[in-house]
Amino acid sequence: MTRLAAVTALKKWVTPQLLHGFNRSLPVLVALALTLTLIPQARAQAPAQADRDAAARQAEILQRQDELRRRQELERQIPPDRSGGGIDTRGLMPPVDASGAGLTCREINKISISGAPNLSTSTRERIESEFSGRCLGVSEIEQILALITQDYIFRGFVTTRAYLPQQDLSTGQLEILVIEGVIEKILLEDGAEGSVRASNAFPVSAGELLNLRDIAVRNEPSTPFHASLSYDNQGSKSTGDEQYGVSLSADRLFGLNEFLLFSHRQSAPHDEDRKLSESNSLTFVLPLGYSTFTFTKSESRYVSLVNAPSGLDLQTSGTSESDIWRLDRTVYRDQSSRVGLAGTLTMKSSKNYLEGLLLGVSSRRLSIFDLDGTLTTGFLGGSLTLELGYARGLDFAGALKDGPNLPREAPRAQFEKYKYGYYFSRPFQVGGLDLAFTSQLTGQIAKDTLYGSEQLLIGGIYTVRGFVNNTLSGDHGYYVRNELSLRRTFSMNGTAMPMRFYMALDQGEVSNRVAGIPQGLLQGGAVGVTMSIKGGSLDVFTAYPIDMPDFLKAEE
C-alpha cells in the first residue's frame, strides 16, 4: 500500500477531532521523518568522499610513475653528460727558449706583452710584480715565457705560444710577443654524407681562438634511423605489471645535427574497462654550440580498479599531457671540472575520473619553471656530479591560480621547492677484476604544501628497488641508490657478450608539511645481471624489500 492510499483510508474511520489533532502534528512528523531519512544519507557520504580521496591518491601515483618511466627512457636513449673536464693539458707544455737574450743579466724596468688579448689579468699582474724592476737573465725570461704559455695551455688554448723577439734589452724594457693560435678552417671528413653541421655542432668558428676542449668529435656516419623494442614486468599491478615499449629515433633529418625520438609504451593485457596504461612521447634535441635545446611532448592515459574504502571495486581512469622546454648550457670547463646550467619550462595538465565522474581534487593544469646547476669534477679517483635546483609554480599559460588566504595545509599551484642531488662513479680493480661503485642521491625540500604531482615519490624500479605496489610520496624527501658491479666480457660463437653483475642497496624517505598523510622510510635491495649481444640488451634481477612502515602490506 502506498503512503497516499494509507492516509486516505485513515481519513475514512478516524473522528474529525482525531484527524484535526493529526493534522496539527503532521509538520512535526514530517520533520522527524526527514531527519531520520537524512541521517543515513549523511553517513553514506563519508565513504563516498573517502573513495574519491583514495582514487585521487592513486591517480597522482600512477601519473608520477609514468613521468619517471618517461624520464628514464629518455636518459637511456640520450644519457646525461656526466663527464668532467677535457684533456689534461698540463702535459702539453712546450719547451721555451730565451737564449737570444744573451748571458748578461739586464736591469728591466718595464715588461711589455703584445698580441695577448686573452691572457688572464692574474698572470699579467704576477709577471709585473715578480719580474719588473729586477735584473733578468735567460732563466728569469724563460720563466716569464713559461708562465704566459702555461696560462693559455692550462685553459685549453694549446696552439698559443709566447716568444722573445729580437730587441735591445739595454733600454730597460723587455718585450714579449704572443701568437694566439686561431682556427683556420673546420674540415669534416664523413664521406660527404653531411652527418654533421659545423655551425651548431661546434661552439667556435674559423678565425676564433682555438681551445682544445671545444674539440671532442667521434663521428662514424651510419643510418639515421633506429628502432628498439623493450619489455619489463615492473609495471603497477593496478594498470598491468607487464609493460611493452617501442622507440623510433632519427638524427640529422633536417641537417641541423638534431635528434628526434618517439616512444610508445603500454601495458598488457590491454583491458579498456579494468586495467591499462599507455603513453606516447616525442622528443626533439638540437645542439647549439655550448648549449643544447630539448623539447618533449608527451601524453598518457590509464584505467584501473581501486578497492575503495567503501569496499567496492571502482573504476578510475585519467589522462595527462605535458610540454617541456629545456635549455642546457656549459658555462665553464677545464681539464678536471665542468659547470652547467639548465632552465626548464614545464606545462602539464591532468584529468582523473572515478566511475566516469571528474575528480576535481586531482585534475589541474600547472606551469613550472626549473633552474638547475651542475658541477662535475674528479673526486676520490672517480667522477662526482653535484646538483642544485630551484622550482617555482607559475601563473602562466592557463595554469591553476592559487586563491587568496589559502590555509597552510592547502596545496599550492604557485609553489616553491629546492632540489639537490649527486652522482658518484668510481671504477677500480681487485685481483684483476673490473669493479665499479656508483651512488646517486635525489632529494627535494618544499617551501609550500605540494600537489601530489610535484611531491617526491619513492618505491619502484627507478627510486627504491624492492617495491612495486607500495609507494610513499611527500613534500620533502630523498632517495639514494647504490650499486657495486663487476664487468666481464664473454664470447658466444665468436661474438663478444659484455656482462655486468651487480648488487644494489637503495633507501628513501619522505615527509609532509601536513600531519596525517602516510610517510616514512623505505629500504630495498636487488641482485642482477645485464648483458648485451648484437644490438640487444637484457637486465634480469630480483629485488626485495628490506624495511618499510608497518602500515604498508608486504609484497610478494
99 located within any domain: yes
Residue type, 403: G
Confidence at residue 186, expressed as pLDDT on a 0 to 100 scale: 62
Confidence at residue 215, expressed as pLDDT on a 0 to 100 scale: 55
Strands laid side by side in the 161-163 sheet: 110-114, 173-179, 161-163
Confidence at residue 419, expressed as pLDDT on a 0 to 100 scale: 98
Torsion on CA atoms 407, 408, 409, 412, rounded to nearest 10: 90
**What's the CA gap between 194 and 127, in Å, rounded?**
47
Confidence at residue 491, expressed as pLDDT on a 0 to 100 scale: 83
108 located within any domain: yes
Are 234 and 468 spatial neighbours (Cβ–Cβ below 8 Å)? Answer: yes
283 located within any domain: no
Residue 161 is part of a domain; what is its CATH number? 3.10.20.310
pLDDT tens digits along 359-375:
888 889 999 999 999 99
Q: What are the angstrom distances between the C-alpha of 549 and each of 470, 509, 515, 520, 545?
A: 10, 11, 16, 6, 11
Q: What are the angstrom distances between the C-alpha of 484 and each of 139, 190, 256, 461, 501?
A: 52, 39, 40, 17, 8
Q: DSSP states of 269-299 as a string? A: S-BTTTBEEEEEEEEEEEEETTEEEEEEEEE
**3-state class of 508 per DSSP?**
strand
**What's the CA gap between 323 and 72, in Å, rounded?**
17
**3-state class of 348 per DSSP?**
strand
Are 242 and 270 spatial neighbours (Cβ–Cβ below 8 Å)? Answer: no
Give me the sign of the Cα torsion angle 200, 201, 205, 208. positive
Confidence at residue 17, expressed as pLDDT on a 0 to 100 scale: 45
120 located within any domain: yes
- Region of 432 please: left (phi>0), alpha (psi -120 to 50) or beta: left
User: Which residues, including other chains, have CB under 8 Å from residue 24's CB and lie 6 or more apart?
Assistant: none
**3-state class of 467 per DSSP?**
coil
273 located within any domain: no
311 located within any domain: no
Q: pTM of the prediction?
A: 0.73
**DSSP state for residue 447 in the 8-state scheme:** S
Helix axes 3-13, 16-77, angle to 10 degrees: 170
**What's the CA gap between 556 and 553, in Å, rounded?**
10
Are 71 and 77 spatial neighbours (Cβ–Cβ below 8 Å)? Answer: no
Give me the sign of the Cα torsion angle 540, 545, 546, 548. positive
Are 389 and 368 spatial neighbours (Cβ–Cβ below 8 Å)? Answer: no
Q: Select from 556, 440, 458 the least CA-distant residue to 504.
A: 440
Confidence at residue 184, expressed as pLDDT on a 0 to 100 scale: 62
Query: Which residue has 658466444 as its cell numbers?
Result: 492
Are 305 and 315 spatial neighbours (Cβ–Cβ below 8 Å)? Answer: yes
241 located within any domain: no
Torsion on CA atoms 100, 105, 111, 113, rounded to nearest 10: 20
Q: What are the angstrom distances between the C-alpha of 399 and each of 366, 472, 496, 535?
A: 5, 26, 52, 43
Confidence at residue 415, expressed as pLDDT on a 0 to 100 scale: 96
Residue type, 244: Y
**What's the CA gap between 420 and 327, in Å, rounded?**
19
Q: How many domains does the chain have?
A: 1
Q: pLDDT per position in the chain (556 positions), as tens?
A: 444 343 344 344 444 443 344 444 444 433 434 344 444 443 334 336 777 777 777 778 887 888 888 888 777 777 776 665 554 444 545 565 555 555 578 888 888 888 888 888 888 888 888 888 888 888 888 888 888 888 887 777 777 888 888 888 888 888 888 888 776 666 665 555 555 665 555 655 555 555 555 555 555 666 788 898 988 887 777 888 888 999 999 988 887 888 999 999 998 877 788 888 999 999 999 998 889 999 999 999 999 888 777 778 888 899 999 999 999 999 988 767 889 999 999 999 999 898 888 888 888 999 999 999 999 998 988 999 999 999 999 998 899 999 888 898 899 999 999 999 999 999 999 988 999 999 999 999 999 999 989 999 999 899 999 998 889 999 999 999 999 999 998 888 878 889 999 999 999 999 999 888 889 999 999 999 999 888 788 999 999 999 999 998 877 6
Q: What are the angstrom distances between the C-alpha of 253 and each of 69, 211, 217, 245?
A: 27, 29, 19, 23
Confidence at residue 468, expressed as pLDDT on a 0 to 100 scale: 84
Are 301 and 321 spatial neighbours (Cβ–Cβ below 8 Å)? Answer: no
Are 486 and 434 spatial neighbours (Cβ–Cβ below 8 Å)? Answer: yes
Provide the grid cell at 540: 634480469
The HSE-up count of residue 346 (CA atoms within 13 Å, CB side) is 21
Confidence at residue 47, expressed as pLDDT on a 0 to 100 scale: 36
Range of the domain at 169: 89-179
User: Which residues, including other chains, have CB under 8 Å from residue 91's CB and lie 6 or more apart?
Assistant: none
Q: Select from 393, 394, 387 the least CA-distant residue to 447.
A: 393
79 located within any domain: no
**What's the CA gap between 218 and 156, in Å, rounded?**
19
Q: What are the angstrom distances between the C-alpha of 30 and each of 15, 24, 27, 83, 333?
A: 21, 11, 5, 79, 83
**3-state class of 435 per DSSP?**
strand
**What's the CA gap between 3 and 9, in Å, rounded?**
10
